[in-house]
Every structure is written in C-alpha cells, then in structure tokens.
Structure 1
Amino acid sequence: MRWTSSGRNRLAPAWLPLRFRRRHDKPDRNDLRQGTASMESVRERLDQILARLAARADRETVFSRLYPEAARTAADAADARRKAGVSLGPLDGRIVSIKDLFDVAGEPTLAGSRLRASAPPAARDALVVARLRRAGAVILGKTAMTEFAFTAIGDNPHYGTPHNAADASRIPGGSSSGAGVSVAEGTSEISIGSDTGGSVRIPAALNGVVGFKPTARRVPLSGAFPLSFTLDSIGPLARSVADCAIADAVMAGEEWSGLPAASLAGLRIGVPRGRLFEHMEDGIAAAFDLCLRDLERAGAHVTETGMDDLLSEMRTATRHASIAALEGAEVHADWLAKGAAAPVDPHVSGPLARAAQVLAPVYIRAMRRRAELVAVMDERLAGFDLLALPTVPVFAPNIEAMADDEKLRERTEGLLLRNTQMANQFDLGAISLPMPGTDLPAGLMLVARHGRDHRLLAMAAAVEALLAG
C-alpha cells in the first residue's frame, strides 16, 4: 500500500472477521461500518480509519494507495462547511474510496498490474473522481482489484489478495475486491468500483454490502481503465441503497432529489428459474425463498419465468470468446503481441491471448446477435417490474482451495459470474442487497430493464427496508 507517492508494502489483513447480521439484528449506530455519517466530525471519522490502516500498514491488502494528507484537508473543509451551515450535497464529507483503475492526476493508473507501474502519470482525474470531489467526498485512497479487472475470484498475485470481511480464510470476490471488503469492514463509507460481468455485485454479495450496477454508459467511463467498452459500468458499493443512489447520482452528473417512495404492493417480480438456479448451495436457496415469501406477504406478485432460451442464444453467440475477453484483447493488444514476456497473471493473459486470435468477423457477428437478443430480452421483461434471483449461487469459497485446485477455481469462477453477467450481456440495471438468514454473506439480486435505474433503486430501497424489518 502506498501512503505517499512512493513505497509499496506487501499485504495480508489484520482486522477481526465480522459476524454477518441475521434477519432481525439491529445495527449498532456507533459501528464505523454503518454507511451513514454519524454526529462525529468528518475528521474524527477519517482519523479513526487512518489509525486502523496504519496499524496494519505492513500487511495491507484492501488498499493499494492512500491519500492521507489530501483526505485530511478535504475532511477539514467538509467540517468547516458544516459548521458554517453550508453543504455541497448529501455526499459532502462522506469517506469514499475508488478502485485502482480510476485516474488520479499525477500518478500512473495501475489497474492491479505491475505492467502499468511505468505508465505515464494521468493528466487529470477520471470524470467520476472529479465529480465526487466537487460533491465534497473525501477520497481516502484506491482499493485493490484483480489484474485489469479480469476474473471474479478477487485474487491478485502481484499485490496480494484482500480477505473476505466475514471470514478472512475466504475469497473477497472480484474484480472490485478491495472495494467490497473496505465497505464491509468500515474503512470506507462508500467505494466506487466497475462492473463488466458482476465485478461490483459479486464482492458486494460475498462481503454482505449493497452493490449497484447502473445501465451501461449512463455513468461516464472517461478516465477509467477499460476492460470492455460495451459492458463496462461504474457503480458504487455501500452499506445502504440510499448511499449507493447518492453516489450514483453524483457520478452520473444528476441532481439528487432523494429516493422516491416505492410500494411493494402490486410489484411484479419475475423469478428466472432454470439454469440460473442450478448448483445453488442449500443455505442460499433457503434464504432466497424466505425473501420471496416476505415479498409476497408485502403484496408483491411473484411469478416464475423462463429465460434459458435467451441465455443459450447468448452463449452460442459468444462461444468463441466472451465479449469482455474479445474487447479486452484489443485494449491489451500491445503487450499480448509480446507473448510470454509480459508479467501478467496467467488467469488474465490466457483468456485474453485466446480472444486475440478470434477474427474480426466473428466479433462483429457476436455483437450484432447480442443487439438482437438485448431487444428480445427487453420485450420479455416488459411484464415485470423486477427480476429477483440470488446474486451468486455459492458462499465465498476458501482462498487456499482456489490456489491449489485449478479445476475448482474454474468452476467457482463460472458460478460466481453466471447470474451477474446476465445483466451486462443483456444491457440491464442490477443491484445486490445483503440477503438475511445466512451464516455467511449472500446477495439478493434485483434486475430491471435498460434505463430504469432510478426506479430500480427506489424499489431496491423498499425491498431493503422489508428485509431489515
């Protein structure tokens, strides 16, 4: 982790594992992990976090870089505004971290890779970072990520792997691995990640926080290191839907007017049984069914629906390589051309190298077919307000097991991505909420049609309140 512009320490966390809250647990208002600002000053909250991070500085895995002096300056300014009765908005004074693929002026953007250590310094902040600063956010630092935002396990062989916030022996989920852990452990109030196939929602689910993927391109990608120009979305992780909605509005350049009230009575919820429910752990299946019963008691209309045909068609369209790998191969064409000389995680370089061999007509056909399937999916979802399904079908597996068993790793990664990537492939909005009733964190994913982001957030807030009751 970098505390200043120089020096990096190797990692491994020191904080104690957290107990995941059950359905009726009441939050501790003094708990630093709560996403809402307390009556403490911003500087006091920041100093508590910095003290925690300083105590583990020689074994840090959650943050790749910290900006303590800049953060203190921003915190003091927020406190001065509050004392003067002035506010820049609901994000003013909130402690925010950003994934290590967003440009910060004056330093190279590493994107989790040693290959980027010698990259030219960014000329300016990424647009979302600039908007966060203007809204009064206190940017604490950059969070760890998988190399080039590829893979869902959450590990990084170069800079270390954050440990799951509920159980340090388990994976954090990726690619926004540090973001999920940071919010769950309370070293950020909000963290900004990117989501190409589930990279915000997977770590949110596995660490027990909220993660929101907006409709692609609604939040500008300028200054964010790309993986897939088609699928990349920028989204927040936080302890509440409201905090995610505030951060999302700021990054999208929208005026915040609060979340509108949404009634669950009469809400039309589709449950896409079939392939997306296969190989699900019993505890997740049971918790999901409890959520559905709660929704029905609240007046929602829950209907099973099918989409296996569309999923099969998308799989056929991308059978040569995923869209993320195909477009990522173009992003990384220069070092891929050097072959084995590049010091890149083989779990990243392998799929990208194979995708680089796919001919352009194959990519064009895949994208044309995807556009057709996106339209069909949108029509099919017209009869629903939401789809509901588990974010991931498994609890976070053991980190060491992933390292020692390549077949298990491959199977696990497929399961982690299976449900979440559907929203990216079909150009939908999606949010993961902590799902109560499990011993380890699990997520309830709500999915809405393209462009219905505000409505999705309002409905998610209503579901959140129901599940917390």
Structure 2
Amino acid sequence: MPQATQRLNPLLMKISDSATTRLDRALAAIEAAGDEGRRIFTRVYADAAREAAVAADARASRGISLGPLDGRIVSIKDLFDVAGEPTTAGSVLLRQAPPATVDAPVVQRLRAGGAVIIGKTNMTEFAFSGIGLNPHYGTPGNAVDGTRIPGGSSSGAGVSVARGMAEIAIGSDTGGSVRIPSALNGLAGFKPTQARVPRDGAFPLSFTFDTLGPLARNVLDCARADAVLAAQPFTPLAPRAVRGLRAGVPRGLLFTQMEVAVSNAIEAALQTLARAGAQVDDVALDEWLSAPFRLQERGTMIGAEASYIHHTLMAEHAAAYDPMVLSRLRRSGTLDGAGYVGVQQARAALLPALDAQLAGLDVLLLPTVPITAPSMAALADEAAFGQANNLVLRNPSVFNFYDLPAVSLPLPVAPGALPVGLMVVGRRGGDAVLLSLAAALEAVLH
C-alpha cells in the first residue's frame, strides 16, 4: 500500500475549536503538503482568511452568529469570480484576463454568512472532464492514494476536504463534478436542483446543466452549505426513519462495468438498509435512464454549449489548452442546430415522464461511479483517458440531464481500500427532503 494512503486521516477539525485554531490547522496542512498543496490550491487567501476567522471568533464570543457556516473553513473552486483577480478556471489562458469586478453571488453569500474562505481549488481545465487531471497547475493526488486520480472536475475541492485543508468545499457539477470527487475521496457531495443556486460569476461549461453544490465530510455540512448557497434559512434536518423508506434500485445500464470492490460495497449497503427496515426494491428504469445516451449519440448538449463558449478561445489560442480538453472540445461541435433543438425538446418531454416513474419512491440508490479511482499513469493514453472519463461520468450525468437532486454518500470499506460512493437521488425541487433522507441513510450505513 503506497505511503500516501495515510492521507485520508488528516488533522481533523473539531468544530468546538475556534475558527482561528481550525484555520491554523488547515493552513498548516497546506504548507506541510509542499508541492502537493500547490496542486490542490491555485490560490491561498491566508491573510484574508485570518481576518475572517478572527471576526468569526469575536462574534462567537458575543453569542452572535451569521448563519450555519459562520467561522467554517471553506474552499471554492477556481471557476468562481473573486473581485480583483482573474478567474482562471484551471487554465493558463485566462491568467491575463481582466480581473473580476465583483464576487460571484455564491462567494458573496459565503462571506455574508461568515465563512472563512481559505483559497481557490484546482480543477480540470474549464471543468471539461470527470477525471481531474490538469497539466497546467499539476494534478492533486487522490486523498487515499496520491498516485490515483482525484476525480473531477472539482479535483482540488474534494482533496482539500479529505486532507483537512478545508471543512467544506464549493464546486460545480455539470455531469458529476461534485459527486465524482466525493465518491473517489470518501466524502459526501450534494448536487442540488439546478435553479436552487445562482450560477452567475461561475465560468460556464454548459448553460443547461451547470449546477453548484458542496462537498463535505457529512451530509449535515452539505445541508448547512446548501442553505447558505441557496440563501435559505437553515433549519436542522428533519429526522427521517429508514424503516419504511421506499428505495428503488435501477439495475441495468447504470450497474454495468462495475468493479468487484464497488459492487460488494453497494450490495452490502443495500442489505444494511433492508435490515434497517427500508423497502429496497429493484426497479426497471432503463428506458428512461438510457435515454440521455440514445438521444445524444450524434453529439451532446454539453458538448455543443461548450463548443460555443470556447469557439473564439480555441480559434486563437488552441496551443495553450490542455490537449485532452482541446481534443474533446474539437469533437464536441458535431450537434447541429436542428439536432440541438431536437434533444432539448425530447428532454422537456422526458423530465415529467421520469418524474411519473418515481412517484411511488422516496429515493433511487445506485453507484455514484462504477469504478474506484484508477491510477493517473494508466490514463496517459488518450483512449484510456476517454474510456475512464465516460465511465465515471455515466451515472451522475443522467441526473444532471433530468435535473434531479442527488447526494453521493461514502460507503464503509476495508481499511486501506479505495473509497466507494452510493448515489441517493431525490425528486426535482425536493432538495431539503433528500438531504434529510440522505442523513438518515448515512447514520445507518456508518
């Protein structure tokens, strides 16, 4: 077992400690990581974070709280605008871009809620893969085994939390970019219903599918962050009993090509929930869950929108792109206008159709991704990279297509084993209900 496997046990932050104490631990963890810390973070706001932590402690001493994230150590993905600096989105192309004039709304909400923003985390260039490699700033190693991928595109986000450099990370999820790094690094990650959190000030990948959400060590912290991001009052998660929960298991396409380790962890989790009284039943949903792939065989909506977003940059600065990203972008412009509208119209009809199929269920349960984190070396070849990328994106991307909220929960695995995630999918707009249900499942599973 590589020495890096010890990384999953960082200096854990006791929330009862002061914000400045917890910030000191987080900054020390970044510094101790050396070059790896610089691969996890593209910027560290040590001075500003300390000012925010001192202010949070002063409020706490007077019994004042600005909300559920007051004094919590938070990292933000490199695609969010921060006033006074260019938003690089994991690319060297934008280093000389004009600085942002205002913070992104989610950053404004974090600051207003007293969060201590420790820095910006590394990511796949322009968020265009689920693997997490970045040749410009280096690739953060997986928190369990540094030779393996972190998952993307919110790569530094997941590793920053798993290695004790932040308590909560804010990422984006277009096809799984919050849930994939959560699953591969042993974290909880939440993709909300898209309209819940404003996307202004976040460098786009897809106008239709981009969604913003948190990664954390547990569902409760995801719920706290979600309340702040959505500008909603935070209330304790409603207690939910697992007994009687109606859980559908969509065996079929999304259960194929699974590693044995993932299959074993998923089946053990389903059995644990059934013993706790959940009604866990297989459901036949392949007609709907395979539809996004059938409809987009000639080109994807994400690809078409990304091709539009990058048209000028690619024409003028192609050589500065990550070659893997550039290759995918060049292949993405295959969907013509008629095809794009056709997929949009078909999607509009499919959303309520799947909603109807889920009417008798509380949640769907399935693997977040069907594999554990592969080694970076194994993905140096473009064909191997493409195959792995398609596989890690496959399951989570379905629920971006259907705009359903989803949580990835870390599952119990043997000591030293690679993490596995269980995806819990709820109903569109039922974000608070899903978070309560996910917390109940989390308590039973651990």
TM over 0.5: yes
Q: Which residue of 2 aligns with 1:392?
A: 369
8 Å contact from structure 1 (residues 333, 356) kept in 2: no
4+ residue segments displaced more than 4 Å: none
Q: 2:173 aligns with which of 171, 192, 195?
A: 195
Against the structure 1 CA distance between its residues 342 and 335, is the aligned structure 2 distance closer, same or farther, given a 3 Å change threshold? farther
- Offset at residue 406 of structure 1 (A): 2.6
Alignment of 1:50 with 2:27, yes or no, is yes
| SS of equivalent residue, structure 1 residue 257 | coil
1: CA distance, partners of 2:88 / 2:144: 27
Confirm whether residue 32 of structure 1 aligns to residue 32 of structure 2.
no
User: Structure 1: how far apart are the matches of 2:219 and 2:334?
Assistant: 42
Contact 2:242 2:276 (C-alpha < 8 Å) held by counterparts:
yes
Q: Counterpart of 2:239 in structure 1: which amino acid? A: A
Matched to 1:327, the amino acid is: E
In structure 1, C-alpha distance between the alignment counterparts of 2:11 and 2:221, rounded to whole Å: 15
User: Do the aligned residues in 2 keep the contact of 1:115 with 1:342 (CA within 8 Å)?
Assistant: no
1:410 aligns with 2:410: no
Instruction: Map 1:269-280 onto structure 2 (within 5 A).
Output: 269-280=247-258
For the pair 1:137 / 2:115, whether they are aligned, the reply is: yes
Whether contact under 8 Å (1:335, 1:342) holds in the other structure is no
Q: Distance in 2 between matches of 1:448 and 1:15?
A: 38
Q: Give the secondary structure class of the aligned counterpart of 2:196.
A: coil
- Structure 1 residues without counterparts, runs of 5 or longer: 1-13, 22-30
Alignment of 1:17 with 2:5, yes or no, is yes
State the match for 2:411 in structure 1. Answer: 435
Distance 1:376 1:463 in 2: 27
TM-score where L is the length of structure 1: 0.91
Q: CA deviation at 1:15?
A: 9.4
Q: Which runs of 5+ in 2 are unaligned?
A: none
Is the CA contact (8 Å cut-off) linking 1:201 and 1:391 kept in structure 2? Answer: yes
Measured in 2, the distance between the counterparts of 1:409 and 1:325 equals 17
Match of 2:336 among 343, 359, 383: 359
Give the paired residue count. Answer: 442
Find 2:434's aligned residue among 456, 465, 469. Answer: 456
Distance in 2 (CA, whole Å) between partners of 1:395 and 1:161 is 17
Tell me the equivalent position of 1:335: 313
Following superposition, the deviation at residue 287 of structure 1 comes to 1.2
What's the offset of the Cα at 1:453? 0.6
Could you tell me how far apart the structure 1 residues matched to 2:75 and 2:61 are?
24
Is 1:302 matched with 2:276?
A: no
CA distance in 2, matches of 1:55, 1:296: 43
Matched, 1:466 2:444: yes
3-state SS in 2 of match to 1:356: coil
Contact 1:113–1:344 (8 Å) recurs in 2: yes
Cα RMSD after superposing both structures: 1.7
Q: Shift in Å at residue 313 of structure 1?
A: 2.7
Counterpart code for 1:18:
Q
Change (3 A) 1:269 1:341: closer
* Secondary structure, aligned partner of 2:75: strand
Task: Report the TM-score when normalising by structure 2.
Answer: 0.96
- Output the CA distance in 1 between the equivalents of 2:8 and 2:422: 15
**Superposed displacement of residue 350, structure 1:** 2.1
Deviation at 1:40, TM superposition (A): 2.2
Kindly state the Cα deviation for residue 20 of structure 1 after the two structures are TM-superposed: 5.9
For structure 1, which segment, 80-89 or 235-244, has the greater mean C-alpha deviation from structure 2 after superposition? 80-89
Matches within 5 A, 1:177-192: 177-192=155-170
Whole-angstrom CA distance in 1 between matches of 2:237 and 2:11: 24
